[in-house]
Amino acid sequence: MSEPSPARPSVVVLGGGYAGINVAKSLDDVADVVLVEPKDAFVHNVAALRALVDPGWLPRIYLPYGGLLSHGRVVQDRAAKVDAGRVTLASGEELAADYLVLATGSSYPFPAKSDVDRTVDAHEKTLGTHAALAAAARVLLVGAGAVGVELAGEIKAVWPSKQVTMVDVADDVLGGPFRPELKAELRRQLAGLGVQVLLGSPLVAAPPTEPGEPGAFTVQTQAGTEVTADIWFRCYGVIPVSDYLAGGLAGARGADGHIEVTPTLQVAGQDRVFALGDVSTADRKVAGAAGRQAVVVAGNIRALIEAGPDAAGIALAEYELSPPGIVVPIGPEGGSGQRPDSEDLLPPEMVAQLKGRDMMVDRFAELLGVPAAAPAPGGPPEG
């Protein structure tokens, strides 16, 4: 990579998710920031399942990038080939980068994450799936992790009489480094809503229909339980997006697709290339961790810029792993969670206040400079 230009160095941020928007905004005053993102809006996917059951939330979770940066620019394109100092976009345009930030996150099956670039198309897709779900009497969720548990809760909050069944090969719900008492509490609440939870046995074969498409089917678990449903959703499958790495950066891509980073969140072997969020090996794959990593990455790039020719001698900040904590809503008013600093589980009222009612939309609307939109009539109550 060439020496950074002394006046206003260029920072190219790939990916405008939770990690990328925070880094881009934080460096807007000291660098020429270019944020590359294929979508025309930031997607607050933490609330995507709420928007599936209540599409009045759609305008609140697709937030245009127009108000994010005052000085820098957002390029609607996709990184196709990326080496240490040079980014080639899908359009063929080339960007030179004094500092490069890899924040391309992960994909996850719809509806938890969107695979559509234009907001208008994404809304249409969600509305179609909402209609299919509304018409289905019986729903199968394959996967009982956080997404499966949340989706079961969202469906039951809107349609209490729908039959909802969850299947997982794991022996308990939620997975991850979480307390058995939390998993038991989530199971208790799901049972109270009438959700059938089948654990410890995978399906013999996947349903014959596509996920999210209407059509009755019967499947069987290996333990022999039959489930008949009218629609199903895949609630597992986080895949890091890093297939664009080339040249000297290709070696930083691990066998599972994650990008190897040092404690300072630099890509292994690179001084001015950083990676964070779901695409990196930095921590658990949660937006909260991505936000905390963004503070470290932006601070380190700022320090390097300010040090100028003396950059080689400065000590960069190290990212500290976040202790296990989680907030799992079951609909707007239910759910539980655990905090690192407390033995007690979060009661439903606290979960509703922290996340379940407003799904934290306002803080992202503020970051993106979008006036907070009111929920559509009939939407969940505000926290």
- Residues lying near ligand FAD in the complex (CB under 6 A) are found at 14-20, 36-39, 45-46, 48-49, 78-79, 103-106, 108, 112-113, 147, 241, 244, 277-278, 285-288, 290
* β pairing state of 273-275 and 41-43: unpaired
* 119: CB partners within 8 A, 6+ apart: 39, 40, 41, 62, 64
Pick between residue 157 and residue 219 the one whose CB is nearest to ligand FAD. 157
User: What is residue 267's three-state secondary structure?
Assistant: strand
Pick between residue 88 and residue 225 the one whose CB is nearest to ligand FAD. 88
Please spell the DSSP secondary structure of 52-114, one letter per residue: HH-GGGHHHHEEEGGGT-SSSEEE---EEEEETTEEEETTS-EEE-SEEEE---EE--TTTS-
Pick between residue 38 and residue 299 the one whose CB is nearest to ligand FAD. 38
Q: How far is the CB of 222 from ligand FAD (least distance, A)?
A: 27
* β pairing state of 99-102 and 10-14: parallel
Spatial distance between the Cα atoms of 33 and 99, rounded to a whole number of angstroms: 10
Pick between residue 38 and residue 215 the one whose CB is nearest to ligand FAD. 38
Q: How far is the CB of 285 from ligand FAD (least distance, A)?
A: 5
Pick between residue 112 and residue 219 the one whose CB is nearest to ligand FAD. 112
Q: How far is the CB of 263 from ligand FAD (least distance, A)?
A: 18
Q: How far is the CB of 81 from ligand FAD (least distance, A)?
A: 10
Pick between residue 340 and residue 377 the one whose CB is nearest to ligand FAD. 340
Pick between residue 78 and residue 162 the one whose CB is nearest to ligand FAD. 78
Q: How far is the CB of 19 from ligand FAD (least distance, A)?
A: 3
Spatial distance between the Cα atoms of 28 and 177, rounded to a whole number of angstroms: 36
Is 24 in contact with 72 (CB distance < 8 Å)?
yes
User: Within a 10 A sphere around the Cβ of 242, how many other Cβ atoms?
Assistant: 25
Q: How far is the CB of 103 from ligand FAD (least distance, A)?
A: 5
- Encoding tokens for residue 206? 């996947």
Is 332 in contact with 349 (CB distance < 8 Å)?
no
Rounded to a whole number of angstroms, the distance between the first and last alpha carbons of the chain is 48
Pick between residue 209 and residue 322 the one whose CB is nearest to ligand FAD. 322
Q: How far is the CB of 24 from ligand FAD (least distance, A)?
A: 11
Q: How far is the CB of 293 from ligand FAD (least distance, A)?
A: 8
* 309: CB partners within 8 A, 6+ apart: none
Spatial distance between the Cα atoms of 288 and 300, rounded to a whole number of angstroms: 19
User: Which residue is closest to ligand FAD by CB?
Assistant: 17
Q: How far is the CB of 312 from ligand FAD (least distance, A)?
A: 29
Question: For the CA atoms of the chain, what is the radius of gyration?
Answer: 22
Cis omega (within 30 of 0) on the bond before 111? yes
User: What is residue 224's three-state secondary structure?
Assistant: coil
Query: Length of the chain, please?
Result: 383
Pick between residue 109 and residue 221 the one whose CB is nearest to ligand FAD. 109
**Burial (CB count <10 Å: 0-12, 13-18, 19+), residue 361:** buried
Q: How far is the CB of 264 from ligand FAD (least distance, A)?
A: 18
Pick between residue 76 and residue 209 the one whose CB is nearest to ligand FAD. 76
